[in-house]
Amino acid sequence: MATLAGALPRSAAFADSVPEQRKPAAGSFWPDGIRMVISVSLQMEGGAQPSSGTESPMPKIDSKYPDLPAGKWYDYGFKEGLPRLLEVFDRRKIKVTSHMVGAAVDLHPALAKEIVQREHEASGHGQTWTAQFSMSPEEERLSYQQSIASIERATGTRPVGFNAFWLRGTPQTLEILQSLGFIYHIDDVSRDEPFLVNVRDKPFAVVPYTLHMNDIVDYETRYFSTAMYADDLKTEFDALYVEAGTRRRMMSVSAHDRIAGRPSRARVLEQFITYAQSHPGVTFMRKDEIARFALESPLTVREGI
């Protein structure tokens, strides 16, 4: 597969089609002259999954038996995947947001601490790798409190962002998060830019997640090859880069420890990062940075506020 950085950006062919009078002054949508922001989600989940019945490439077995090979598939995430991806991010000099399951942090506190020591963000992802949507408000609050404690204990930082299991929270999730000091969540794929929603008469930031630029969806559900995923990443970036000439644009990319951390897939991700960085005005930001900017910017889209 040819490297992404070696190709002429498709956006260059369309840049002149944007009328000059519609082009905003540099930096009017993002700070410091930034044209477009990319945010990478790094899921830390290995070890938090149940002993059987969890998602994996293995054939399903009766849940009364422990699924030993599926467990080893998840182990790859903390043994190989996360260390490899952290090296990729260091080489490309970008900072990401790591959505950490509290139970995984408890099992691998040194790795969680290393992620933060490398200046990446530690974000909440629940205490166990189980769905939030069926929890009572009391169960949900307790799960988030336990997750906060696990992350603080291992990393010395308190999470301010949240990602629910498969994006499925409850009608009470945002109020519970806000009461616990969270300032944003990502479980909304309805925009290509950060926006604000009203929670108890206060603005709460949404930093949109992605499903179509998500490694678990494309590699494990759609069975994409690395070449197909690389093409999807590049095409998405090219389209958003053109749009970024006239409106605030953000691209979200998802990388799970056990999936994107595979050698060939990590290489594809690094090639994409290199390609994106070759374009003027492109930067990578942590989601807490994006959320704080959205909360302060008068140009941020506000829904119900």
Q: Could you report the per-residue pLDDT of 190-236, keeping only the tens digit for each?
A: 999 999 999 999 999 999 999 989 898 888 888 899 999 999 999 99
Mean pLDDT of all residues in 266-283: 98
The total number of residues shown for the chain amounts to: 305
With beta carbons less than 8 A apart as the criterion, state whether 165 and 130 touch.
yes
Structure tokens at 194: 């950060």
Q: How many alpha carbons lie under 13 Å from residue 54 in its C-beta half-sphere?
A: 23
Nearest to 289 by CA among 112, 113, 39: 39
> How far apart are the C-alpha atoms of 155 and 116, rounded to whole Å?
6
Residue with tokens 């410091």: 32
Helices (H), 80-225: 82-92, 102-107, 109-117, 137-155, 173-179, 215-220
Q: Give the pLDDT score at 102.
A: 95
Q: Could you report the per-residue pLDDT of 102-158, keeping only the tens digit for each?
A: 999 999 999 999 999 999 999 999 998 888 888 899 999 999 999 999 999 999 999
With beta carbons less than 8 A apart as the criterion, state whether 205 and 183 touch.
yes
Q: Could you report the per-residue pLDDT of 47-94, keeping only the tens digit for each?
A: 666 655 677 676 787 778 877 777 788 899 999 999 999 999 999 999
> How far apart are the C-alpha atoms of 207 and 97, rounded to whole Å?
11
Residue 21 scores a pLDDT above 60: no
pTM over 0.75: yes
- As beta bridge partners, residue 174 has none
Structure tokens at 168: 């499925």
Q: What are phi and psi of 251, to 5 degrees?
A: -110, 135
For 91-127, b/e burial (b = at least 16 CB within 10 A) is ebebbbbbbbbbbbbbebeebbbbbbeeebbbbbbbb
Model confidence at 6, pLDDT cuts 50, 70, 90, reads very low
Going by their DSSP bridges, the two strands 97-100 and 36-44 should be labelled as parallel
Q: What are phi and psi of 123, to 5 degrees?
A: -115, 155
Q: Give the pLDDT score at 270.
A: 98
Report DSSP letters for 257-298, one per residue: TTTTTSHHHHHHHHHHHHHHHTSTTEEE--HHHHHHHHHH-T
Model confidence at 188, pLDDT cuts 50, 70, 90, reads very high
